[in-house]
Chains A and B, each alone.
Chain A
Amino acid sequence: MNATIPKPLAAPATQAAPILEMRGISQVFPGVRALDGVAVALYPGQVTALIGENGAGKSTLVKILTGIYRPSEGEILIDGQPVRFANAQAALNAGITAIHQETVLFDELTVAENIFLGHAPRGRFGRIDWGRMMAEAARLLVALEAPIDPGLRLKELSIAQRHLVAIARALSTEARIVIMDEPTAALSRKEIDDLFRIVQTLKDAGKAVLFISHKFDELYEIAENFVVFRDGRSVGAGRLKETPQDAIIRLMVGRDVKNAFPKLPVTLGGPVLEVKAYTHPTEFRDISFTLRKGEILGVYGLIGAGRSELAHALFGITRPSSGALALEGRPLTVATPRDAIAAGIVYVPEERGRHGLALPMPIYQNMTLPSLARTSRRGFLRAAEEFALARSYAERLDLRAAALSVPVGTLSGGNQQKVVIGKWLATKPKVIILDEPTKGIDIGSKAAVHGFISELAAEGLSIIMISSELPEVLGMSDRVMVMKEGLISGMFDRESLSPETLVRAATGNA
């Protein structure tokens, strides 16, 4: 299908026949090819690690396996027989079960009810056999070495216990293929050990496990095989124990990422924003850095590393428990977004539909929202001024829209993002925080947004760019701050940037 796809490394001869095989799977969404001819094989009694950056297509693959998406191309074989899943139930019936990052469980129901929701043991006349359900639930939990009373309501359990319930639920269907999608993200080390014991039980029972995680130390501990995805393609597969971590990171990030985003050379000015020991009660600790004029500071890290939370605190949405800010040498207190905007710090949120825009309202009204004081006179709106302001930024950003008065919600994701960025630029900020600025937007708009960010920096705007996309971080940043579990785990200059060092700092496996 594509010459650049390396052939999956041949499985050793001792390998049993795979339970599940996916061949040439592609998933096409309007404008995006989320998966492009990927191949994955899962073997009985073995764990296969699925590795890749955010957006590499891992979640799409999981959704195909669990019957939520139907692939555009390719075939799925179970025990050598081709199968097609019409819906999630069909995948479940075929013996595939998934434990998600956030499995949907119900707080007000009991542990047993959660485990057997949708497939409760039935008695006569189709009535639920509560006694058997409790007994079965208890049996499953004992097998997981999880001393949880199946009669408790879920809301009375800890996060780790809920997780065990989710696993029990996944196993209650007698699945042969178990998908674990970042199961350890919210767990402590001890809980992870418990989880790995469970995975071992699954292996002993001959089940095939697909294990998705960003943490290499865990993967090397638990997985036999690996598959690496990059940009929707499977770029490598093989035996994990025989493959050094560096080789896998190279597969993950590719090699030619640095020249993908030519950033304009900028002479950096003096310090603009100084963050001193910023600390949040739960999300991040002791964050200190200095942002210079015209600088793009990339902020890289795994999801949950505290990057967005830091941005929220800098913008006044949440308040830090300690720490200080200084803007252009003067101390600054940011208690509300109003304070931040007034001082010249603005934030382009990750979820632009939910946090950044009033989608049913016209483009120009969204654009002028934080600048109303400038476009109005004595509190009265002036439409001509609003249109003029909106027009100047719409043209600068090359916005594609039928008219400035159409609702923002009618625009494409990329153009919506241009409106959010334009809205904030119109306030003439000193510091702009971009949170995943190109998430979910098409390639063309992506390049336009990157070009624009680079221009802004050249004009002297200081930029904090949170991004989970390595090529973007590497290509755009003057410096990169890596965060891990709420702490700064590395600060790298452009000269010393390499994908491997960033990934290593983010995943914490030096």
Chain B
Amino acid sequence: MTTQTPETRNPAPAEGSAPRRAIPDRLGTPFARILRRWEVLLFGVAVAIFIANALASPYFLNIWNLSDATFNFTEKALIAFAMALLVISGEIDLSVAAIIALASTAMGAAAQAGIGTAGLVAIGLGVGLGCGLVNGFLVSVMRLPSIVVTIGTMSLYRGISYIVLGDQAYGGYPESFAFFGQGYVLGPISFEFALFAVAAILFSVLLHATNFGRQVFVIGNNDFAARFSGIPVERVKFILFLLTGLMSGIAAICLTSRLGSTRPSIAQGWELEVVTMVVLGGVSILGGAGTIGGVVIAAFVMGLVTFGLGLLNVPGIVMSIFIGLLLIVTIALPIIAGRIKAMGKS
């Protein structure tokens, strides 16, 4: 009986004479690839929060309560989808909440003047697009850094709202306008939630299944290489700012409709919540990586946390502490895990 050493069973091919090895398309099984993803970890967090909520409060598992809970995130998530694309491309828009304020103010003024629901929607969308156009022009055409531009327009847009309204508020929206923020399309499924679901699918397709989405990733990973490959970098960024403005306009319609009134402080501080949602969803703040799926899960996580803590009568300031911790922990975990892995290798 002969025992074979591993060497004789697998003789190393001589240098240069090795047959050309076919390169596989992908490594590992599809299942193994999915398990390694950030979204899986985040989904686990969402499930854990869901279970914790269900255990902590007897009111949580009520279908109408859960439906109500979605309002905590649907409007922000609508903006977060567009923001995700913008952040992946290496830019950011901090004026989104101010766009809501300006669009809402414009709609309020129009409602006072007796304009109907269709007109109000058109105004909301138009103001959103217009604000996005200004941001896009300053970033893509004037080549200014987006963080500076949108901090500026953030003050500008909300400032206009304050000048128009002062300490007043607009109300008196037409009855049919209430549908966008308060209506239900099917059973406990609200119009907002349906819009959120449709937008999630559309943005997911745009980012992950089109040439445009691919270009967004390339720009975020290497602006130079994108230009050197013939991608119209400035045009893509301009479109992304328009899209973010438009989604902010849609969010403004939903929020104004839900609240039934407009104050200049509407949606104050939302820009950071939107960015938090995007980053929590696994989008690299440095650009170049991220998924819409991750943002969807992050929206649920943030919504569930806010809602669950609300049911337990936890004050708002504590909620924001909790969201902050969640953000830091979820960002830190994979980085720490990566370091441990790297240490194991060396």
A residues contacting B by CB (< 8 A) are 315, 317, 336-338, 340-342, 347, 349, 354-361, 364-365, 369-370, 372-373, 376, 379-381, 387, 391, 394-395, 398-399, 401-406, 423
Contact = CB atoms under 8 A, between A and B. Distances in A.
Nearest to B218: A358
Contacts of B229: 337, 341, 369-370, 423
Contact of A337 (B20, B210, B230): B230
Contacts of B12: none
Given A358-B222, A361-B221, A372-B214, A403 B27 contact: yes
B64 interface: no
A23 to B, nearest CB: 34
B23 A360 contact: no
Contact of B25 (A338, A349, A356, A387): A387
25 contacts: A336-B232, A338-B232, A341-B230, A342-B230, A355-B224, A356-B225, A357-B225, A358-B217, A358-B222, A359-B221, A359-B222, A361-B218, A364-B25, A365-B214, A370-B229, A376-B211, A381-B210, A381-B211, A394-B23, A402-B24, A402-B27, A403-B25, A404-B26, A405-B25, A406-B27
Interface of B: 20, 23-27, 209-214, 217-218, 221-222, 224-232, 288-289
Nearest to A398: B20
Given A403-B24, A404-B25, A404-B26, A370 B230 contact: yes
B220 to A, nearest CB: 9
Given A372-B211, A372-B214, A381-B209, A358 B288 contact: yes
Most buried by B among A340, A359, A369, A373: A369
Contacts of A360: 221, 288-289
Contacts of A405: 25-27
A379 B207 CA distance: 12
Given A404-B24, A405-B25, A405-B26, A381 B214 contact: yes
B212 A379 contact: yes
Contacts of B226: 358
B225 A401 contact: no
B230 A336 contact: yes
A375 to B, nearest CB: 9
A117 B228 CA distance: 39
B17 to A, nearest CB: 14
Given A337-B229, A358-B222, A379 B210 contact: yes
B228 A355 contact: yes
Contact of A391 (B23, B213, B230): B23
B222 A404 contact: no
A404 B218 CA distance: 17
A354 B224 contact: yes
Contacts of A376: 210-211
Given A358-B221, A360-B289, A404 B23 contact: yes
Nearest to B288: A360
B208 to A, nearest CB: 8
Contacts of A394: 23
Contact of A399 (B23, B221, B289): B23
A395 B20 contact: yes
A404 B180 CA distance: 46
Contact of B227 (A317, A379, A391, A403): A317
A330 to B, nearest CB: 20
Contacts of A369: 214, 218, 229, 231
Nearest to A358: B221
A341 B232 CA distance: 13
Contacts of A379: 210-212
By Cβ-Cβ distance, the 5 closest A-B pairs, closest first, are: A358-B221, A338-B230, A405-B26, A341-B230, A358-B222
A360 B24 CA distance: 18
Contacts of B213: 381
Contacts of A359: 221-222
